[in-house]
Amino acid sequence: MLSYRHAFHAGNHADVLKHIVLMQLLDYFNQKDKPYWAIDTHAGAGLYALDTGYAQKNAEYQSGISRLLPRDDLPVSIAAYISLVRQLNPTETLSVYPGSPWIAQQLLREHDQLRLFELHPTDSQLLGANFADAGRRVKVQNIDGFAGLKAALPPAPRRGLVLIDPSYEEKQDYQRVPSALKNALKRFATGTYAVWYPLLQRHEAQHFTAALKNIPVNTWLNVSLTVRTPNADGFGMYGSGMFILNPPWTLRSGLQDVMPYLGKVLGQDSGAGFVLEGGDGPAPRS
Ligand code: SAM
């Protein structure tokens, strides 16, 4: 039984990092005319109300997207992300936050396709409704994202970007992700795979990037943003990361300006900082 609902967390610091990286990946794919598929294995609802309902509970967006909106010193790629968020919020009030499917849909071209998997019945229904007018290039399925990924690979145009963004509500996700990636690489070795992960003090999370680094692949890039000192009680998410297999060669330099800026604006105490490693040559093994 899934209890996680992304609406509680929409627009938080983790969404900000994930969606900025996602946009940089899609920008790179758009540099060539050749069509591609974007596959979102854990798509969520696609759009989230911030001014009512779940998002109001802890108002996590206030320490995420809300910190960036008023800034007038945004690096170019963050400005592009903010302008997408502004498309949904034309007045000063921030009332809607875009999920990864909506962001991808804005960047995809006519001849590209979007495959969306979401297992939670309510979020899947919302996702379907949010994309009801999207036409044939977007396909929404209420199925397990790992199974959906297996069936979708290799994508027909042999070009593809996969976002794997589980909630890690079930600790088995820490094993499912590396195993799904190994399987996916067998079916589609040249795909780009971007995995979101939380920074937590629990054992599984601490060992997760080491497991990802051991997947045999030409290149990986790991980027993480710590927003605060981990809690003394051992609980709570103190940041998040994105681990990318077969990243575009441009990604590392694209993140070099962005990460110090995010650390400065989203950092909550002196424990804030970032890691940017790999992405500039054959993958080292840990
Ligand atoms: N990618 C979304 C975004 O950035 O806007 C957020 C996704 S949220 C972190 C994770 C989603 O995965 C939740 O909506 C949850 O219901 C869904 N989920 C959990 N297990 C799943 C599975 N096995 N297959 C597909 N979706 C799943």
- Domain edges within the chain: 6-213
Q: How far apart are CA 34 and CA 246, in angstroms?
A: 18
Ligand 1 mean position, distance from CA 166 (Å)? 5
Whole-number Cα distances in Å, 123 to 47, 97, 103, 113, 211: 10, 15, 17, 21, 30
CA–centroid distance, residue 24 to ligand 1 (Å): 21
CA geometry: angle 184, 190, 195, nearest 5 deg:
55
Atom of ligand 1 nearest to the CA of 170: 20
Number of the ligand 1 atom closest to the C-alpha atom of 46: 5
The CB of 42 under 6 Å from ligand 1? The reply is yes
Which mutation among 118, 125, 131, 164 tests ligand 1's pocket best, with the greatest number of atoms within 8 A of CB?
A: 118
User: Is residue 45 a contact partner of residue 9, using CB atoms and an 8 Å limit?
Assistant: no
* Rounded to 5°, angle at Cα 88 from 85 and 24: 30
Q: Which pair of tokens denotes residue 241? A: 């990361």
- What is the DSSP code (8-state) at residue 190? T
Per-residue model confidence (pLDDT) at position 53: 83
User: Checking DSSP bridges between strand 96-98 and strand 273-278, what pairing results, if any?
Assistant: unpaired
- Whether the CB-CB separation of 218 and 185 falls below 8 Å is answered with no
Q: Which of 124, 169, 173, 177 is nearest to 149 (CA)?
A: 177
Residue 286 has a pLDDT of: 46
Cβ neighbours for 268, distance < 8 A, ≥ 6 positions apart: 63, 227, 228
d(CA 193, CA 207) in angstroms, rounded, equals 19
Widest Cα–Cα separation across the chain: 51
Is the distance from the beta carbon of residue 118 to the nearest atom of ligand 1 less than 6 Å? yes
Q: Which CATH fold topology does 6-213 show? A: Rossmann fold (3.40.50)
Q: Is the dihedral of CA 51, 54, 55, 58 positive or negative?
A: positive
Percent of the chain that is helix, strand, coil (3-state, to 5): 40, 20, 45
Q: How many CB atoms lie within 10 A of CB 154?
A: 15
**Which of helix, strand or coil describes residue 17?**
helix
pLDDT at position 284, please? 52
Is the Cβ atom of 112 under 6 angstroms away from ligand 1?
no
Residue from 140, 164, 167 to probe ligand 1 pocket by mutation (most atoms less than 8 Å from CB)? 167
Does ligand 1 have an atom closer than 6 angstroms to the CB of 252? no
3-state secondary structure 118-139: CCCHHHHHHHHHHCCCCCCCEE
At 4, which amino acid appears? Answer: Y
Structure tokens at 277: 């490693």
Q: State the catalytic residue, choosing from 40, 112, 165, 173.
A: 165
Q: Which atom of ligand 1 is nearest to the CA of 120?
A: 16
Going across the sheet that includes 192-199, the strands are 138-141, 113-117, 37-40, 160-164, 192-199, 239-245, 220-226, 273-278
Query: Angle CA(222)–CA(227)–CA(231) in degrees, nearest 5?
Result: 110
Cα–Cα distance for residue pair 78/63, rounded to 1 Å: 16
> Per residue of the chain (286 residues), what is the pLDDT tens digit?
688 898 899 999 999 999 999 999 999 999 999 999 999 999 999 999 998 888 888 889 999 999 999 999 999 999 999 999 999 999 889 999 999 999 999 999 999 999 999 999 999 999 999 999 999 999 999 999 999 999 999 999 999 999 999 999 999 999 999 999 999 999 999 999 999 999 999 999 999 999 999 999 999 999 999 999 999 999 999 999 999 999 999 999 999 989 999 999 999 999 999 999 999 866 555 4
CA distance 139 to 119: 14
Q: How far apart are CA 37 and CA 159, in angstroms?
A: 7
